[in-house]
C-alpha cells in the first residue's frame, strides 16, 4: 500500500470564543498534523458562535462575488464519471440523534440530486465530468472493538479491506468515502480538518478515496450552522464537506491536475462560503434544493465551487453567487 499526499484537508482554525472553519492544503502525506507543510488558509470562513445563553449564530458567510485567482491544469487526469461509493464506519444505526438510518438517507438523497445539478456542472468547466451516475454502492463497517483512534493510514486500510472483502468492487472511477459516525475518534478531525480526499495504490490499483466525519462531533467547527435544513445538523454539515471533496476528487483525482500555486483546488478557493442567495427554513439556512429519488425535494446548505469560466464562486451555473 502506497499512501500519497493529501492535497486538500478541510481544516479548523480556532479563534477565541468562536471556531472558524476553513480549508487547508496539506501537501505532506501520512500525517495527521499540519506541521510545517506550506499550508495556506482560505479567507472568508464563517464564524460560528456556540449555542447557549445569550449566544446566537448569524447567517452563514456569503463570500465574495468578485474574481479570484485561477487554478491551473498541471497535466494530470480528471474524472469523466466519478462514482461515489460509501463506507459507513462506526455506529450508524442509532434510534435517535445524528447517527441514524434517516441521517444516512440525507447523504444518499444529496448524492442522487447532486448528480446532474447546476452545482456539479461547474466541474465541467475544467474538462471533468459535469454529471455522474449515482451508483451509490455502499457497505457498513463496525468500529474496532475497544474503540481506538483512526489515523490517515487507517482510512486507507478501511478502503482496502472493503475492496479485498468484495464488499465494494475495485473501481478506478470510484471515489470511496469513509464516513465516520460521531462517536468515532479520528486524529485531526474537529481540531484540524473536517474532511479530505487523496489517492493511493491499494492492491496494485490507483484508488481515489476520502474521509469525512459526522459534524455532530463538533458542530461549531465542522458545520456552518448548528441547525440543519433536514433536521440533522451533523449530517447536514457533513454533506457540505462531502460535496467539497467530491468535486475536488473529480477535477484533481491524482493530485496532479487542477490546483493553484498554494495547492488550493477548485472547492478550496470557495471554502465555507455559501453565496448571496441563502434562504431560511425553520431556523436553518439553505442555498440549494435538489430532487429526491422517487419524487420530492430536499434543501441543503452547500459550500460554493470555483468556475474556471470566470474564476468566481457559485452555488450552481445560472443560480448566481
Question: Would 36 be classed as within a structural domain?
Answer: no
Residue 313 has pLDDT above 60, yes or no: yes
Residue 179 has pLDDT above 70, yes or no: yes
Contacts of 11 (CB under 8 A, 6+ apart): 21, 22, 23, 24, 26, 34, 39, 41, 192, 193, 194
3-state class of 155 per DSSP? helix
Identify the pLDDT of residue 320.
55
Question: Would 106 be classed as within a structural domain?
Answer: yes
Identify the pLDDT of residue 158.
96
The CB density around residue 206, as the number of other CB atoms within 10 Å, is 14
Question: Would 33 be classed as within a structural domain?
Answer: no
Identify the pLDDT of residue 7.
55
Question: Would 305 be classed as within a structural domain?
Answer: yes
What percent of the chain is modeled with pLDDT above 90? 76
Question: Would 187 be classed as within a structural domain?
Answer: yes
- Per-residue pLDDT tens digits for 250-276: 999 999 999 999 999 999 999 999 999
CATH number at residue 271: 3.40.390
Residue 249 has pLDDT above 50, yes or no: yes
Identify the pLDDT of residue 42.
32
**Could you say which DSSP state residue 176 is in?**
E
Total tally of structural domains belonging to the chain? 1
The mean predicted confidence, pLDDT, of the chain is 84
Identify the pLDDT of residue 284.
97
Q: For the chain, what is the largest distance between any 2 Cα atoms, rounded to a whole number of angstroms?
A: 56
Q: How confident is the model at residue 295 (pLDDT cuts 50, 70, 90)?
A: very high
Question: Would 46 be classed as within a structural domain?
Answer: no
Contacts of 280 (CB under 8 A, 6+ apart): none
Question: Would 58 be classed as within a structural domain?
Answer: no
Q: How confident is the model at residue 148 (pLDDT cuts 50, 70, 90)?
A: confident
Q: How confident is the model at residue 11 (pLDDT cuts 50, 70, 90)?
A: low
User: What's the domain range around 87?
Assistant: 2-13+76-314
The CB density around residue 267, as the number of other CB atoms within 10 Å, is 30
Identify the pLDDT of residue 309.
96
Question: Could you give the residue ranges of the DSSP H alpha helices within the chain?
Answer: 101-114, 118-121, 152-164, 219-222, 233-251, 266-269
Identify the pLDDT of residue 9.
65
Identify the pLDDT of residue 136.
78
Q: For residue 316, give the nearest of 126, 123, 156 by alpha carbon.
A: 123
Residue 26 has pLDDT above 60, yes or no: no
C-alpha cell at 217: 462531533
- Per-residue pLDDT tens digits for 33-51: 222 212 222 333 333 333 2
Question: Would 176 be classed as within a structural domain?
Answer: yes
Residue 15 has pLDDT above 60, yes or no: no
- The whole-number average pLDDT for the span 286-313 is 96
pTM across the whole model: 0.86
Amino acid at each position: 500500500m502506497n499512501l500519497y499526499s493529501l492535497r486538500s484537508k478541510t481544516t479548523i482554525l480556532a479563534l477565541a470564543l468562536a471556531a472558524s472553519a476553513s480549508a487547508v492544503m496539506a501537501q505532506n502525506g501520512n500525517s495527521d498534523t499540519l506541521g510545517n507543510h506550506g499550508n495556506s488558509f482560505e479567507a472568508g470562513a464563517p464564524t460560528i458562535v456556540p449555542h447557549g445563553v445569550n449566544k446566537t449564530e448569524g447567517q452563514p458567510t456569503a463570500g465574495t462575488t468578485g474574481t479570484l485567482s485561477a487554478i491551473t491544469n498541471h497535466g494530470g487526469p480528471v474524472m469523466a464519471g466519478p462514482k461515489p461509493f460509501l463506507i459507513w464506519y462506526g455506529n450508524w444505526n442509532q434510534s435517535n440523534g445524528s447517527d441514524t438510518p434517516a441521517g444516512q438517507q440525507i447523504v444518499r438523497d444529496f448524492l442522487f440530486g447532486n448528480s446532474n445539478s447546476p452545482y456539479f456542472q461547474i466541474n465541467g468547466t475544467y474538462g471533468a465530468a459535469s454529471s455522474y451516475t449515482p451508483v451509490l454502492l455502499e457497505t457498513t463497517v463496525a468500529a474496532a472493538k475497544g474503540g481506538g483512534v483512526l489515523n490517515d493510514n487507517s482510512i486507507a486500510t478501511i478502503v482496502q479491506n472493503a475492496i479485498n472483502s468484495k464488499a465494494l468492487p475495485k473501481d478506478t472511477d470510484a471515489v470511496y468515502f469513509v464516513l465516520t459516525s460521531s462517536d468515532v475518534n479520528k486524529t485531526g478531525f474537529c481540531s484540524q480538518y473536517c474532511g479530505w480526499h487523496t489517492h493511493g495504490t491499494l492492491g496494485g490499483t490507483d484508488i481515489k478515496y476520502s474521509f469525512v466525519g459526522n459534524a455532530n462531533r463538533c458542530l461549531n467547527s465542522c458545520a456552518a450552522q448548528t441547525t440543519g435544513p433536514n433536521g440533522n445538523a451533523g449530517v447536514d454539515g457533513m454533506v457540505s464537506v462531502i460535496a467539497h471533496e467530491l468535486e475536488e476528487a473529480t477535477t484533481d483525482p491524482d493530485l496532479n491536475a487542477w490546483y493553484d500555486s498554494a495547492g488550493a483546488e477548485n472547492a478550496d478557493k470557495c471554502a465555507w462560503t455559501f453565496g448571496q442567495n441563502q434562504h431560511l427554513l425553520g431556523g436553518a439556512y439553505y442555498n440549494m434544493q435538489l430532487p429526491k429519488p422517487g419524487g420530492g425535494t430536499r434543501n441543503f446548505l452547500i459550500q460554493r465551487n470555483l468556475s474556471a469560466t470566470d474564476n468566481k464562486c457559485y452555488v450552481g451555473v445560472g443560480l448566481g453567487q
